[in-house]
Structure 1
Amino acid sequence: MKNRRHSLRPLGLALSLLLGGCMVGPDYHRPAVTTRPRYHEMAGWQPAAPAAGAPKGAWWKAFNDPLLDRLEPMVATANQTVAQSYANYRAALAEVRIARSALFPTIGIDSSGTRARTTSATYSARHGINNSGTLEGELSWSPDFWGKTRRSIEQNKATAEADKATLANTLLTEQVALATAVIDLRINDADIALLQQTVAAYRNYLAVIADQDQAGTIAPSDLITARTQLESAQASLIQLGMARAQYSHAIAVLVGRNPGDIDIPPLAALPQLPRIPVGVPSALLQRRPDIAVAERDMAAANEAIGIAIAAYYPTISLSAVDGFSQSPLAGLLKLANHVWSAGAQVSETLLDGGERSGSVAAAKASYDASVAAYRGTVLGAFQDVEDDLSNLRILEQQLQAQEAVVNDARRGAEIAFNEYQAGTVDYTTVATARTTQLVAEQNRLSVIQNRLLDTVNLIGDLGGDWSESSLESSR
């Protein structure tokens, strides 16, 4: 009998492998999306500065800002939103292991011991105690004839890959947020420096006007106007300090620190504006982690269809028990006490009132929804890049025009003050000209800020240094 059982094992293994090759439900194929040969805004668009190639690795180094270089690496290790996303990814990997375990038999061991006193009158008190025991190994297995378990594994793998892409997207989003906060801080510092220069100029104006007022050569209103102008600039300067503190606090939180723990001294230099090679639209499908998330969600939804269809097929379970049982307990492990059993169970639902057909229909509808979400994400990604390119093109033109405004405003303020000293105009003309210059300088800073921010957004919208090949290790 033993030899017969051994001879049947290879046959049973081959049979299980053969039957295990069947998987009901549709196989996944990524739906096609329409892409243009190039971005519309690339025609005639010239980046601001040269660069060797596309952003790789530490993309923020292209901005040549020491604060970005110091803090950006901390986002991956200390940012709490990234840490949360990483924990979600680890949980998804654990779910894959759980799903894969259903492919294998469950093996356990069961032992028991009983000590009982009999009540039969034929036994004396010395022989009225009976010891018994069992020691059995148990095996149960549900072969994956219809591929339900393997569909579940693929579904969980796709979900884990989506979580991995979500982690990459979260990291990129937080890195972009940090770069944005640093740029805002740098522009704020430049605005502070501009207002400090303006306050110093207004003090000089006020000193000149105060001397003229004491000499009685000007109207008293000129002194009031000059003092009001100085006080207004000082108030605006103080207000910028509040914004600077908020930017510093935001930067600290993005790198996992308590607000106020990071001391950021002012820096006169603004970040450089790098050139960002864009590539072709089709490359975006492999470079955007959020597109990968939508694509993996679509793959998981496809596997759910197969899982729902598998419910139409019977469930087959195999079980076996092998061990020893003896009463009294002495000699439990002897061959004479060897016991075994084997069995199989087949269950099939004959009538369910439409539950299974409804589950299949729901799974197919969910898949269709995921396809629409994927294509919508792709279109949104194309829109993001087109918006960034158009913004950079228009902002470059605006900066050129704004530079001319600044030059004229500076010259106009200088001429107005000279004419005032010559007595040909009143101080209102000087105040208006100087205010015009300040507004022109601030507008110029605003355009520079928008160009830097749109460049950071373009890097993020192109996927940073991420690519879809990062998911291959999970497949």
Structure 2
Amino acid sequence: MKPLLCSAALASCLLAGCSMEPTYQRPGMPVPNSFPSAAPTTQAAPSAAETRADTAVANLDWHQFFRDPALQRLIEIALGNNRDLRVAAANMTQARANYGVARASLFPELDLQAYGGRQRLPAQTQQPANGLLGPVQNNNDKAATFNTYQVQAGMTSYELDFFGHQRAIAHESGKLADASAAEYEAARIALIGEVANAYLSLNADRALLQLAQQTLAAQQQHAQVMNKAYGDGGVSEFDMRRSQTQADAAQVDVENVQIRIAKDINAMAVLIGQPLPASYGTPSQWQDPLLTDVPAGLPSSLLDRRPDIVAAEDRLRAANADIGRARAAFFPNIALTAVLGTLSGGLSNLFHAGSAAWTAAASGSMPLLDWGKNKNGLAASKAGYTGAVAAYEGTVQEAFREVADALAVRDHIVPELKAQQALVDQSQRVYAISQVRFKEGLDDYISSQDAQRSLYNDQQKLVSLKLDQAVNQVNLYKALGGGWNQANSGKTTASVTAPAQLSSMRASP
């Protein structure tokens, strides 16, 4: 038996390099080398400091990007409690375990078996071994009863992977595990962005609520003045009624904003996996620097670090390995069986001298007539690879579009914000003047209300633009693959089932 096992081991070593997998070639990036530049009138050329900052963005941790302590705490809670992230972590762990199962098939599996039985055989018959070391025979002319006891250890049907069938399966499973790890990281970055956007929306709605409440107070006060003036005969019923409708409309706005705030809080509770802490009831001031700005002049090579692109390429590599598996199916399958143990008709003699038994065998099979099964299997694998290439290129193009859109918004929203702020300042001045003129009887009620309504609309628009700017910064951060790095990832994901370090999850080829 030893020469047979040594020969099989030597053959496995000699043929270990044989693989049916095509040489993997990464598809070219179907996007320009750089993102669209801003117009000269809105964006200056990137300075040397900004160019150096490009590399820093690729390694920026989310703690450095989201500088608001309240937001940082919410993100930490979400990373520990969010259920969707836990599902992604479980999927990653499952894929890693499946890779371990596939990789184990590359090595012989040793089993220990024990058997004890009693059976009756007719005259001149033989009972097949059925996986045991040897058959039981009755060479007598009469039926006989036999006892059989045995202990055996060995390997059964170990495939000699001459043509890389098992290695291709393990390689494919490993790349799928890598893809699952990248998808977990993508889910983590997406969650950070969702929490940030939900927090910004909540702050914006609370700012809008303050505006609505201020407007309501002003309208109610004005309505009271008009009611008194109507009672004194100083204004018409039309003006009095119209002032009351303005107050009612302001009340409707207050209630609508409160509904949105309630929905914002409920959405945040789902994201962080628990009720929103009471300490987050006060919104942050919009003028505070909540987010770190992303520098200009970004190269499109930053897309390489996006987890969804990494996952798409890992699935492409898995599809490439699957072609190797399909090709190997055309070639012979050779398997070894080797068992060593003891066999005895009496339990007391099971381990006595002379009870040793062994068996060794090699078997082979090769497709002869499969009615196109392997041919169609290979065609299916090649089609799967073609689809994976298209999926990878589509992921890259979509990522490029997301970054380009965010950069376009960033290039133009700053001058828009400045213009809107100037408009609010002018509207406030116009409203103040209209109030004075109304009280002095120089203007009628309608002029004053128009000025107040314009100011309110301009203030709402300013809050909306500030929200758009902040959300766009978050979206740009997400589109560039986040600011995650290995050094800081562990402290935010300790309570998650699976580790967050993406590099440690990369499966071996």
Query: Structure 1 length normalisation: TM-score?
Result: 0.89
- Structure-to-structure mapping, 1:237-316, within 5 angstroms: 237-257=254-274, 264-267=280-283, 269-270=285-286, 272=289, 273-277=291-295, 280-316=298-334
Contact 1:324–1:339 under 8 Å retained in 2: yes
Residue aligning to 2:11: 15
User: Which is further off, 402-411 or 205-214?
Assistant: 205-214
Query: Is residue 2:36 matched to residue 1:36?
Result: no
Residue aligning to 1:124: none
> How many angstroms does 1:465 deviate by?
1.7
- Structure-to-structure mapping, 1:14-413, within 5 angstroms: 14-42=10-38, 44=40, 45=43, 53-54=56-57, 56=59, 58-59=61-62, 62-115=65-118, 131-140=147-156, 141-257=158-274, 264-267=280-283, 269-270=285-286, 272=289, 273-277=291-295, 280-413=298-431
Residues 56 and 321 (structure 1), Cα distance of their counterparts in 2 relative to 1, 3 Å cut: closer
Residues 41 and 75 (structure 1), Cα distance of their counterparts in 2 relative to 1, 3 Å cut: farther
> How many angstroms does 1:235 deviate by?
2.1
**Selected match of 1:440 from 446, 450, 458:** 458
> How many angstroms does 1:261 deviate by?
6.8
Distance (Å, rounded) in 2 between the aligned partners of 1:119 and 1:24: 52
Contact 2:64–2:292 under 8 Å retained in 1: no
SS in 1 for 2:443: coil
> How many angstroms does 1:290 deviate by?
0.8
Amino acid at match of 1:298: L
Query: Is residue 2:481 matched to residue 1:463?
Result: yes
Amino acid at match of 1:165: A
Distance (Å, rounded) in 1 between the aligned partners of 2:44 and 2:268: 32
> How many angstroms does 1:201 deviate by?
2.2
Distance (Å, rounded) in 2 between the aligned partners of 1:357 and 1:384: 41
> Which structure 2 residue ranges, 5 or more long, are not aligned?
124-143, 487-500
Distance (Å, rounded) in 2 between the aligned partners of 1:139 and 1:424: 104
Instruction: Tell me which of the two structures has the higher relative contact order, counting C-alpha pairs closer than 8 angstroms and 6 or more residues apart.
Output: 2
User: Which is further off, 418-427 or 201-210?
Assistant: 201-210
Contact 1:165–1:471 under 8 Å retained in 2: no
Distance (Å, rounded) in 2 between the aligned partners of 1:55 and 1:251: 28
Compute the RMSD of aligned alpha carbons. 2.7
SS in 2 for 1:423: coil
Contact 1:60–1:68 under 8 Å retained in 2: no
Residues 383 and 231 (structure 1), Cα distance of their counterparts in 2 relative to 1, 3 Å cut: same
Contact 1:287–1:466 under 8 Å retained in 2: no
Residues 55 and 243 (structure 1), Cα distance of their counterparts in 2 relative to 1, 3 Å cut: farther
SS in 2 for 1:335: coil
Contact 1:318–1:344 under 8 Å retained in 2: yes
SS in 2 for 1:269: coil
Amino acid at match of 1:231: D
Contact 1:399–1:447 under 8 Å retained in 2: yes
Between the aligned residues of both structures, percent identity stands at 30
Distance (Å, rounded) in 2 between the aligned partners of 1:235 and 1:365: 58
User: Which is further off, 173-182 or 222-231?
Assistant: 222-231
Amino acid at match of 2:89: Y
SS in 1 for 2:349: coil
Contact 1:60–1:179 under 8 Å retained in 2: no
> How many angstroms does 1:110 deviate by?
2.5
Distance (Å, rounded) in 2 between the aligned partners of 1:246 and 1:216: 46
Amino acid at match of 2:398: G
Amino acid at match of 1:355: K
Distance (Å, rounded) in 1 between the aligned partners of 2:376 and 2:64: 54
Residues 424 and 458 (structure 1), Cα distance of their counterparts in 2 relative to 1, 3 Å cut: same
Contact 2:303–2:480 under 8 Å retained in 1: no
User: Which is further off, 65-74 or 373-382?
Assistant: 65-74
User: Which is further off, 227-236 or 362-371?
Assistant: 227-236
> How many angstroms does 1:107 deviate by?
1.5
Residue aligning to 2:497: none
